Amino acid sequence: MLTLKQIQDNKQEVIERLKIKNFDAVNIVDQIIELDNKRKSTQTEADNLQAEMNRLSKSIGQLFKEGKAEEANQAKETTAGLKEQIKNLTTQQDSIETELQNLVVQLPNLPHPSVPAGKSADDNIKVREGGLIPQLTEALPHWELAKKFNLIDFELGVKLTGAGFPVYKGHGARLQRALIAFFLDEAIAAGYEEVMPPLMVNEDSGFGTGQLPDKEGQMYHVTADNLYLIPTAEVPVTNIYRDVILDGNQLPVRNCAYSACFRREAGSYGKDVRGLNRLHQFDKVEIVQVAHPEKSYVVLDEMVNHVQSLVEKLGLPWRIMRLCGGDMSFASALTFDFEVYSGAQERWLEVSSVSNFETFQSNRLKLRFREEGEKKTQLAHTLNGSALALPRILAAILENNQFEGGIKIPDVLVPYCGFDVIA
C-alpha cells in the first residue's frame, strides 16, 4: 500500500509511474489528496476544540471557588456543547479514514524505474538465458509420460476432487518429494531459515501481502470460518512479521518454506493448461526476505542468482524475463520471471517469479525496523520468490530427459529419490 506521504508529496510521479502498469490513477489520487486534506483540517478543528474544552474545564472549579457560580455554570454548558462538537467531528473523521483507506488500497505499487512499458507477457524483456535446448525426436509430452510410467494419475484426481488436483504415484511421488527436499536444502545452505506455515490464513494476512482485496476471486475461501487457503507460502511467512518492529542489525531476515498452494485459476482451460501446466493445487518452496531499503535491490539480485543456480543444477534450459508493467502483479515494484524450456511441448514454461515489493507490503503489515541508537522507525522492504514451483519443473524434467527406454533423473536428485532412471 502506498503511503499518504508518497501520494501527497509526489502526486504527478505516482500518476506517471502507474501508467507503466496501465493504471489510470488520476481520479483516485485526486480523491485521496482531497480526503487527506479534509482529514487533516477536521483533525485540526477537533484538536482546537479539545484544547478550548480543556481550558474551560480547568477554569470551572476556580470560578466556583471565587463565587462566580453563574460564569461557572455557563462554562459547563459551553464545555458540554464543545464535547458534542468533538464527538461529531470524531464520527466524521472515522468516516473519512474509512473512505480514504478504501481508495488507497485500490492503487497498485509503483513500478521500479527499470520496469519496461507493455501490456502483456509479449512485452517482457529477456535478461539472460542458459542451458541447452534438448533435441528430441518423437518426444512425448509429460502427461503421456506420466501415464506410460504410472507417475501421475490425472483422472483419479478428477474423481477425488476435480480437474487440477493430480495424484502422484510411485516414482512420481518420490520424485516430487525429492524436489521439495532438494529445494529446501539448497535454500537452507544459502542462509534461509526454514519454517512450516499454516495452509490457511485470515483476512488480515491476505490484506497484509496484497492478496486482498485484489485477488479474492483467485483464492479458495473457507466461508464458515472466513479463512483462505494460501495461494503461496509467501502469505503466511511474510505475515510472521506483521505488526513487528525489527532491529536494524537483524536485517536481512531470510525464511524459506515448503507448502501446498491453492489457486482457483478461474477460466483456465485449453492445451496450454493441460497436465501439470496449470493446477489448482501444487507444491512450491518459497524464499522470503525482509531487507533494509538501501540494500533490497542487492538482495533481489541475490535471490535471482539463487533461483538461477537451482535450474542450472537441474540441467534445464532457462531464461530470465524482466516483466513489463502490464504483466506485473498488483503489489510488485520489480519482478523477474524464470522460464524453463519444455522439450516435448516446444515452449517456455514459467516456474518462478522473484519480486521486490519495497514498502508496499510492509506498510500494510506495519512491518518496521529501527536503526541502533535511533528512536524513529522505518518501513522495511519485503521480497519473495519461488525456489521453486514444482509442477512445470517436473514437467520439463520428464520431457527433456526422456529417451527411448525411459527417463533419466538429474544427478542432483538421485541421492534424494534413490533412483537414477524411470523405466
Query: What was the pLDDT predicted at 73?
Result: 86
For residue 401 the three cell numbers come to 530427459
Same domain, 165 and 96: no
Of 343, 350, 319, give the one whose Cα is nearest residue 399. Answer: 343
Residue 353 phi/psi, 5° resolution?
A: -125, 130
Whether 126 is in a domain gets the answer yes
Does residue 418 sit in the same domain as residue 332? yes
214 found inside a domain: yes
Whether residues 147 and 26 fall in one domain:
no
- Same domain flag for 27 and 157: no
Give the mean pLDDT of 365-381. Answer: 96
Give all strands of the β-sheet with 406-408 in edge-to-edge order.
402-403, 406-408, 421-422
Give me the DSSP letters along 350-411: EEEEEEE-TTHHHHHHT-EEE-TT-SS-EEPEEEEEEEEEHHHHHHHHHHHTEETTEEEPPG
Q: Is pLDDT at 339 greater than 90 in this prediction?
A: yes
pLDDT tens column, 4-52 = 999 999 999 999 999 999 999 999 999 999 999 999 999 999 999 999 9
Q: How many CA atoms lie within 13 A of 140 on its CB side?
A: 16
Q: What is the DSSP string of 79-100?
A: HHHHHHHHHHHHHHHHHHHHHH
Check whether 216 is labelled as a binding-site residue: no
Residue 112 maps to a domain: no
Please give the pLDDT value at position 269: 55
Residue whose C-alpha is closest to residue 234's, from 186, 286, 285, 305? 286
**Would you state the pLDDT for residue 69?**
85
> What is the pLDDT at residue 78?
92
Q: Is residue 267 scored above 80 in pLDDT?
A: no
pLDDT for position 270: 56
Q: Rounded to whole angstroms, how far apart are CA atoms 49 and 55?
A: 10
Where in the sequence is the domain holding 408, given as residue range(s)?
A: 121-422
The reply to whether 193 sits in an annotated binding site is no
| 264 labeled binding residue | yes
Nearest C-alpha neighbor of 259 from the set 279, 235, 239, 275? 235
Q: Are strands 193-194 and 253-262 parallel, antiparallel or unpaired?
A: parallel
Is there a domain that residue 81 lies in?
A: yes
All three cell numbers of 397: 524434467
Task: Let me know: does 201 contact 225? Beta carbons within 8 Å.
Answer: no
Instruction: Output the CA torsion sign for 271, 274, 280, 283.
Output: negative
Output the pLDDT for position 143.
98
Is it the case that residue 170 has pLDDT exceeding 60?
A: yes
Same domain, 81 and 175: no
Q: Residue 113: inside a domain, yes or no?
A: no
Q: Does 372 count as an annotated binding residue?
A: no
109 within a domain of the structure (yes/no): no
Q: What angle do CA 295, 319, 261 make, to 5 degrees?
A: 75
Q: Which residues contact 138 (CB under 8 A, 6 or more apart)?
A: none
Which domain CATH number covers 230?
3.30.930.10
Minimal CA–CA distance to 169: which of 154, 151, 143, 155?
151
Q: Residue 97 annotated as binding?
A: no
Q: Are residues 367 and 240 in the same domain?
A: yes
351 is in an annotated binding site: yes
Confirm whether residue 66 is marked as ligand binding.
Answer: no
Domain shared by 371 and 332, yes or no: yes
Quickly state the pLDDT bin for 271 (edges 50, 70, 90). Answer: low
**Residue 110 belongs to a domain:** no
Q: Is 286 annotated as a binding residue?
A: yes
For 99-124, what is the mean pLDDT?
Answer: 97
| Portion of the chain with pLDDT greater than 70, in percent | 98
Query: Do 277 and 402 belong together in one domain?
Result: yes
Residue 116 domain flag: no
Does the structure show a pLDDT above 90 at 67? no
Report yes or no on whether pTM surpasses 0.85: yes
User: Please, which pLDDT band fits residue 276 given cuts at 50, 70 and 90?
Assistant: very high
Report whether 59 belongs to an annotated binding site: no
The angle subtended at Cα 205 by Cα 200 and Cα 211, nearest 5°, is 90
55 shares its domain with 132: no
52 and 136 assigned to the same domain? no
CATH of the domain at 74: 1.10.287.40
57 labelled as ligand-binding? no
Domains in the chain, number: 2
Claim to verify: residue 183 and residue 324 sit in the same structural domain: yes
Whether 46 and 131 map to the same domain: the answer is no
